[in-house]
Structure 1
Amino acid sequence: MDKIKIKAIDGDFSVCKVKDYSKVNLDTEFCFTGRTNEEKSLVCLTKDVPENTIEREDGWKAFRIEGILDFSLIGILSKISALLAENAIGIFAISTYNTDYILIKEENYTKAKKFLIQ
């Protein structure tokens, strides 16, 4: 994929809605939080799901788009999501300041890996 390097991340992930962040271990290897006026969300390794989770969906695998992505770069997630959509693979995308992550349901992981990692 046009000089974009993507790496599979070991581990199983969960996407959760939590009551609050009091039970979330923010020092774990992967911990992504999102908050709005309607909900508090968490994406973390399944083994790290806190006990105050209200709803959760297990069975996600993750990929990291390698390297620090400059804010001026345009269309990286769009290209990846379009490629996967063409192959009937849905995604859950997360971005940090430096890096983008793509989560894929476990049943599509091997298929997605063929398209993303070359």
Structure 2
Amino acid sequence: MDPTDFLQDGTVSVSDATYAVCRTDHTHPGAFATIQDETETTVVVEQDTVETVDAHEIESGWTRLTFEMDLPFELVGFLAAVTSALAEVDVSVFVISTYSTDHVFVKEEELAAAVLQLEELGCHVTD
């Protein structure tokens, strides 16, 4: 499978919300995502609720781009294609993968450059 086949005419939605990525010691109700490993817990919350998170560190100002496509587990290189393209235009990313799709977070000030680059890959970017 070629990852560019999924990108060509694939839909990417841009979230209306702005998010904060928080390092904390516990989960948070209402978080968009919680990632826990043996050393830390990271929660991603809408930025307007960040004051409710007991966080050690907060990185604010992220916009979520969701790849609205079912991505099979055997697909190799999808995120590499996306992140390499975004790196070409100096866009930093924070990525969360779910069972069937990927969410790529970009800083608000880098959103326009990210959208243009994804459109160059053949994606339809929607609000």
CA–CA distance in structure 1, aligned partners of residues 32 and 90 of structure 2? 27
Could you say which residue in structure 2 is the equivalent of 1:91?
93
Are 2:9 and 1:7 equivalent residues in the alignment? no
Task: Please list, as runs of the form range in 1=range in 2, the aligned pairs for 1:59-70 lying within 5 A after superposition.
Answer: 59-70=61-72
Structure 1 unpaired stretches of 5+: none
CA drift of 1:37 comes to 1.9
CA drift of 1:65 comes to 0.6
Where relative contact order (Cα < 8 A, 6+ residues apart) is larger, the structure is 2
CA drift of 1:75 comes to 1.2
**CA deviation string 1:53-73 (max 9, x = no partner):** 221110111100112211112
The residue identity in structure 1 corresponding to 2:111 is Y
| Identical positions, percent | 28
TM-score for both structures, normalised by structure 2: 0.80
CA drift of 1:4 comes to 3.0
TM-score for both structures, normalised by structure 1: 0.85
Q: CA RMSD in A?
A: 1.6
Q: Runs in 1 of length 4+ with deviation above 2 angstroms?
A: 1-5, 47-51
The residue identity in structure 2 corresponding to 1:44 is V
Task: Please list, as runs of the form range in 1=range in 2, the aligned pairs for 1:18-97 lying within 5 A after superposition.
Answer: 18-21=24-27, 24-25=28-29, 28=30, 31-49=32-50, 50-97=52-99
Give the length in aligned residue pairs. 113
Identify which of 97, 104, 107 aligns with 2:106.
Answer: 104
Identify which of 13, 20, 23 aligns with 1:17.
Answer: 23
* Higher share of residues assigned helix: 2
CA–CA distance in structure 1, aligned partners of residues 93 and 53 of structure 2? 26
